[in-house]
Amino acid sequence: MIEAKTQLRVYDDTKAMFHLPADVIYLDGNSLGALPLGVAERVAQVITAEWGDELIRAWNSAGWYVQPRRVGDRIARLIGAAPGTVMIGDTLSLKVYQALAAALEMNQERKVVLSDTGNFPTDLYMAEGLIATLGRGHQLRLVAPEEVEPSLSDDIAVLYLTEVDYRTGRRHDMRTLTAKARALGIVTVWDLAHSAGALPVDLAGVGADFAAGCTYKYLNAGPGAPAFLYVAPRHADQARAALSGWMGHAKPFAFDLGYRPAGGVERMRVGTPPVLAMAALEASLDIWDRVDMGEVRARSLALGDLLIAEIARRCPSLRLVTPRAHAQRGSQVSFAFAGGYAAMQALIARGVIGDFRAPDIMRFGITPLYIGEAEVLKAAEIIEEVINGEVWRRPEYQVVNAVT
Amino acid sequence: MIEAKTQLRVYDDTKAMFHLPADVIYLDGNSLGALPLGVAERVAQVITAEWGDELIRAWNSAGWYVQPRRVGDRIARLIGAAPGTVMIGDTLSLKVYQALAAALEMNQERKVVLSDTGNFPTDLYMAEGLIATLGRGHQLRLVAPEEVEPSLSDDIAVLYLTEVDYRTGRRHDMRTLTAKARALGIVTVWDLAHSAGALPVDLAGVGADFAAGCTYKYLNAGPGAPAFLYVAPRHADQARAALSGWMGHAKPFAFDLGYRPAGGVERMRVGTPPVLAMAALEASLDIWDRVDMGEVRARSLALGDLLIAEIARRCPSLRLVTPRAHAQRGSQVSFAFAGGYAAMQALIARGVIGDFRAPDIMRFGITPLYIGEAEVLKAAEIIEEVINGEVWRRPEYQVVNAVT
């Protein structure tokens, strides 16, 4: 047993803390992280001892009411944010919506939301929905990822980006873009879906205005785990909560008829917090509290380099779409391949689990807490077999599943 | 063991299916339902065998993707809705927001949302927030509950009500109000927070347009359990999804840059569904699938009558604020009492758990699946002790907790 407060060595100490099925090399932790060992017990304990025994009293006795902020503080440490600036709840779609709504109100004379074609679609869809609801002639302007920086101009209200591209793993330069945006009077909203737990993030240091992320990818909090929202302290007491639910009220239990926002990021709470899902998140954070994000990043880059080199050597028909330069890369490696869908099915059938993103991207997530060199080398071997041996052409791998 | 498909007798069969702490009479199931016995095991199974072993594959292999609609169908049966018209997800605050946004767009020439002062505050706050976001001069008009019917007029866009008042337990006549509203061209949005699992609801029969509810009260799905949204089939393919997340897209896994809503109620999905919380909901519905809502209602009314009669006889200083008439009553009994906060603390200390709602309401929820005559009689005795014995005046019961 490792003592409670010791720092953990990435992989050497942490791999044993995950439930990983035998005969699987899991390279899809960028989509759904693996299960940390303590989760089932923690959730069972919350169900039985808190909900079951304490019943309604648990809102106080078990701290359910303050949990979204308390857990937010544990995530704040991972993304370079001060305590009291991160709130947990809802889903990432809703958190980027709240952030964008607040950001647009801070810049009412401008009507353009600048994003890129590599942003995750739900961010774009939520923006479309918000723009239609606002009905004030806002425009969602989409440019290619590499065109974002030259497209910054003083007609833009909000720069609305995901730091790491979900398909290519290409990483924006958050520091430079945020600085240039701020100099032009543009408010920034960063989606950290592929950043939190993947690489060091320095929200306070770069001066980001808003940021949001999910916890079911690199943070390993389980399917449908709640999201988080960061609001820079300089905005937190002014930002309007467009989704003004009772938990974000200054006095939720006064049951006033009129809305009055709580101070700070607390106003970004909406409804009743997801207590059971939050218990899983807390158990997963027990690991994250004890690892060094710099070590995670160094290992991630080394493993990514290894996968890139191995595939370049073994499978020239797979075209690398992830930047080789470390500064421009997130924690995944992606290849374009015309038969990518079928190839991924064949890989999964052989225990190498990555995923496919339309139209032709094969993604492999690098999650150093439970993936090491041996796994990457073994995966590369199996990829070679499937691609070079034309295994992927077999009819059984052409069938399209409901969800991929 | 009772066989899988047998109908359950309310209380006689069902009480043993709940985890109820010894020495507690739980009259707060209208706030947070008690724990059904199978929940911890079901959730643990989803964590270990689905998330743990299947990992990302569980979206297909364990049916996570289709779960929100499948579970919606199980709730549909309890609220008089057809299969395929109810979607699970998010929180009630967000689901009433989606409903109100869609309803207002169906009636764009009108600018008034009519609600009452007995509506739960979060519904009012979310409406305030939506009205501000719309910025088109809408007005939230609040009248007393009994003034709703005479206030219906053809300048009203949306009638926006909770069927059962969270403080008094007063029940609106949903059938009459919906019919009058529709005759005047008013779209209806019903909040069923204190209806679903409390009394028979007939959404299709009354012709409601939209309805939403939570599952952590009478449906016993646990703290922060997801909400549900009903859209009448006549609107489902036209209603705009203001919170247009990727899971409500016609083809979520095509990752198109532009939003295109799914057909029907599916468009009201937003982000990734809360898989772990949904497992708890499914376990709780295993009981609800097998009880008759008419029997639940008959028992609820009889138990409510008993509590009203006992308190009238024992504690004349408690003023009944719940209507005696069955048709006008939900599934709770409430009393106004100036020392209500302290009295409720004293009751809780003696194992009778109800709750307090400002300014002076003591609420007692009637949940016939696990509350019977013996529990009501014992609670009445303890209430008498606390009130008539002036126990509630003791200093330790005057301290206000963070959350009540």
pLDDT tens digit sequence for A129-138: 999 999 999 9
Residue-level pLDDT at B400: 76
Residues B275 and B314 in one domain: no
Choose, from A95, A110, A171, A363, the residue flagged as catalytic.
A363
Choose, from B74, B217, B267, B290, the residue flagged as catalytic.
B217
Question: From the list A51, A92, A135, which residue is nearest B223 (CB)?
Answer: A51
Contact B21 A245 (CB under 8 A): no
Q: Quick: pLDDT tens for A367-399.
A: 999 999 999 999 999 999 999 999 999 999 998
- Contact status of A139 with chain B (Cβ, < 8 Å): no
The CA distance from A90 to the nearest CA of chain B, in Å, is 6
A251 is known as an active-site residue = no
Chain B CB contacts of A90 under 8 Å are: 90-91, 94, 271
B140 in a domain, yes or no?
A: yes
Q: What is the ipTM, given to two decimal places?
A: 0.96
Residues A264 and A308 in one domain: no
- Contact status of B395 with chain A (Cβ, < 8 Å): no
Contacts of B188 (CB under 8 A, 6+ apart): B103, B158, B159, B161, B177, B178, B181, B182, B208, B209, B210
Structure tokens at A380: 């590369």
Structure tokens at A359: 């139209």
B227 in a domain, yes or no?
A: yes
Residue B374, domain CATH? 3.90.1150.10
In the numeric block, the tokens 């929202």 are attached to A229
pLDDT > 70 fraction of chain B, expressed in percent and rounded: 98
CA dist B275 and B147 (Å) reads 42
Residues A187 and A307 in one domain: no
Residue-level pLDDT at A246: 97
Residue-level pLDDT at B404: 46
User: Chain A, 195-214: which have a CB under 8 Å from a chain B CB?
Assistant: 214
Chain A CB contacts of B270 under 8 Å are: 91, 93-94
In the numeric block, the tokens 């017990």 are attached to A41
Per-residue pLDDT, averaged over B145-170, amounts to 98
Question: From the list A94, A132, A357, which residue is nearest B270 (CB)?
Answer: A94
The CA distance from B6 to the nearest CA of chain A, in Å, is 26
Instruction: Examine the pLDDT at B260 and tell me if it is beyond 50.
Output: yes
Residue-level pLDDT at A4: 56
Contact B92 A276 (CB under 8 A): no
Contact A222 B28 (CB under 8 A): no
- Contact status of A24 with chain B (Cβ, < 8 Å): yes
Q: Quick: pLDDT tens for A70-105.
A: 999 999 999 999 999 999 999 999 999 999 999 999
Higher pLDDT, A285 or A5: A285
Residue-level pLDDT at B402: 54
User: Chain B, 257-296: which have a CB under 8 Å from a chain A CB?
Assistant: 257-259, 270-278, 280
The CA distance from A7 to the nearest CA of chain B, in Å, is 25
**Residue B296's domain spans which residues?**
15-30+292-397
Cα-flanking dihedrals φ and ψ of residue A214, to 5°? -110, 165
Among B267, B288, B309, where does a domain finish?
B288
B37 in a domain, yes or no?
A: no
- Contact status of B103 with chain A (Cβ, < 8 Å): no
Residues A262 and A303 in one domain: no
Residues B63 and B160 in one domain: yes
Instruction: Examine the pLDDT at B144 and tell me if it is beyond 50.
Output: yes
B180 is known as an active-site residue = no
B370 in a domain, yes or no?
A: yes
The nearest alpha carbon in chain B to A58 belongs to B223
A375 in a domain, yes or no?
A: yes
Residue-level pLDDT at B72: 98
Structure tokens at B314: 């024992």
Residue-level pLDDT at A402: 53
Go through A281-316 and write b for each residue having 16 or more CB atoms within 10 A of its CB, e for each that does not. bbbbbbbbebbebeebbebbbbbbbbbbebbeeebe
Residue-level pLDDT at B338: 95
User: Mean pLDDT in chain A?
Assistant: 96
Residues B379 and B391 in one domain: yes
B233 in a domain, yes or no?
A: yes
Among B288, B314, B330, where does a domain finish?
B288
A187 in a domain, yes or no?
A: yes
Q: Quick: pLDDT tens for A323-361.
A: 999 999 999 999 999 999 999 999 999 999 999 998 899
User: Mean pLDDT in chain B?
Assistant: 96
B95 is known as an active-site residue = no
The CA distance from A176 to the nearest CA of chain B, in Å, is 26
Chain B CB contacts of A224 under 8 Å are: 64, 272-278
Question: From the list B56, B122, B142, which residue is nearest A32 (CB)?
Answer: B56
Report the domain count for chain B.
Answer: 2
Phi/psi region, residue A116 (left: phi>0; alpha: psi -120 to 50; beta: rest), is beta
Choose, from A165, A191, A209, A355, the residue flagged as catalytic.
A191
Per-residue pLDDT, averaged over B348-354, amounts to 97
The CA distance from A272 to the nearest CA of chain B, in Å, is 5
Residue A120, domain CATH? 3.40.640.10
Chain A CB contacts of B48 under 8 Å are: 19, 35, 40
Contacts of A273 (CB under 8 A, 6+ apart): A64, A67, A68, A88, A89, A226, A247, B223, B224
Residues A260 and A326 in one domain: no
The nearest alpha carbon in chain B to A127 belongs to B244
Residues A214 and A350 in one domain: no
Contacts of A5 (CB under 8 A, 6+ apart): A290
Between the alpha carbon of residue A157 and those of residues A123, A161, A191, B19, B106, the distances in Å are 16, 13, 17, 53, 30
Question: From the list A64, A243, A402, which residue is nearest B65 (CB)?
Answer: A402
A99 in a domain, yes or no?
A: yes
Three-state DSSP class for residue A4: coil
The nearest alpha carbon in chain A to B353 belongs to A56
CB-based contact A153:A139 (threshold 8 Å): no
Residue-level pLDDT at A403: 54
Q: Quick: pLDDT tens for B194-241.
A: 999 999 999 999 999 999 999 999 999 999 999 999 999 999 999 999
Mutate to test the interface with B, among A18, A255, A364, A400 (most CBs of B within 10 A): A255
Question: From the list B28, B132, B135, which residue is nearest A136 (CB)?
Answer: B135
Per-residue pLDDT, averaged over B46-72, amounts to 97
CA dist B91 and A270 (Å) reads 8
Contact A275 B245 (CB under 8 A): no
In the numeric block, the tokens 């739960």 are attached to B120
Chain A CB contacts of B47 under 8 Å are: 35, 39-40, 43, 222, 280
CA dist B88 and B90 (Å) reads 7
Residues B247 and B163 in one domain: yes
Residue-level pLDDT at B356: 94
Instruction: Examine the pLDDT at A404 and tell me if it is beyond 50.
Output: no
Residues B250 and B327 in one domain: no
A216 is known as an active-site residue = yes
Residue-level pLDDT at B4: 56
Mutate to test the interface with A, among B42, B57, B59, B91 (most CBs of A within 10 A): B91
Q: Quick: pLDDT tens for A142-180.
A: 999 999 999 999 999 999 999 999 999 999 999 999 999
Instruction: Examine the pLDDT at B3 and tell me if it is beyond 70.
Output: no
Instruction: Report whether A125 belongs to an annotated binding site.
Output: no
Q: Quick: pLDDT tens for A203-245.
A: 999 999 999 999 999 999 999 999 999 999 999 999 999 999 9
- The per-type count for chain A, helices as H runs and strands as E runs, is 13, 15
Mutate to test the interface with B, among A257, A345, A353 (most CBs of B within 10 A): A257
The helix (run of H) or strand (run of E) holding residue B234 is helix B233-236
DSSP of B246-293:
GGGBSSGGG--SS--BPSGGGGG--SS--HHHHHHHHHHHHHHTTS-H
A95 is known as an active-site residue = no
Instruction: Examine the pLDDT at B2 and tell me if it is beyond 80.
Output: no
Residues A195 and A262 in one domain: yes
Instruction: Examine the pLDDT at A401 and tell me if it is beyond 70.
Output: no
Residues A312 and A386 in one domain: yes
Residue-level pLDDT at A2: 46
Chain A CB contacts of B94 under 8 Å are: 90, 94, 243, 245, 270-271
Among B249, B269, B288, where does a domain finish?
B288
Instruction: Examine the pLDDT at B399 and tell me if it is beyond 90.
Output: no
